[in-house]
């Protein structure tokens, strides 16, 4: 799957189920190479959780988001999620944090609050 296939042009229906996580008033969207999403709609979320599946594809996702022309998208807090194994050090430095579980997002919520206060 090419990076252009990841960001689709149709509406993102059904995102509010397993892919959206809320912590207080913050909403995080979990994205992966298996679940396309419309790039313009990313700005509706407080932050993004990128499921680390393949290193090259994850790198391209981060680059695409960080080079977007809308400030709300390219400054959005990004977090890597990988349920097993180690993270690539270069990728870890390109995001705002990492997590191994999705059942406690308080840490990324705190980081997101700090980032949003600086903007």
Q: What is the tens place of the pLDDT at every residue in 34-64?
A: 776 777 788 889 999 999 888 888 888 899 8
Query: 65-91: per-residue pLDDT in tens?
Result: 999 888 888 999 999 998 776 777 888
What per-residue confidence (pLDDT) applies to 39?
77
Query: Would you give the end-to-end CA distance of the chain in angstroms?
Result: 34
Ordered strands of the 78-81 beta sheet: 20-23, 26-31, 47-51, 78-81, 97-99
CATH value at residue 73: 3.40.50
> The domain containing residue 58 runs over which residues?
3-118
β-bridge partners, 97:
79
Q: How many domains does the chain have?
A: 1
């Amino acid at each position: 799957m090419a990076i252009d296939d990841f960001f689709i042009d149709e509406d993102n229906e059904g995102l509010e189920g397993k892919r959206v996580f809320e912590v207080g008033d913050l909403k995080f969207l979990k994205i992966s190479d298996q679940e396309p999403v419309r790039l313009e709609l990313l700005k509706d979320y407080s932050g993004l959780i990128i499921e680390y599946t393949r290193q090259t594809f994850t790198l391209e996702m981060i680059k695409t988001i960080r080079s977007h022309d809308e400030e709300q998208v390219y400054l959005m807090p990004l977090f890597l999620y990988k349920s097993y194994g180690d993270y690539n050090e270069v990728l870890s430095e390109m995001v705002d944090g990492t997590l191994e579980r999705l059942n406690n997002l308080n840490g990324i919520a705190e980081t997101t609050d700090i980032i949003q206060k600086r903007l």
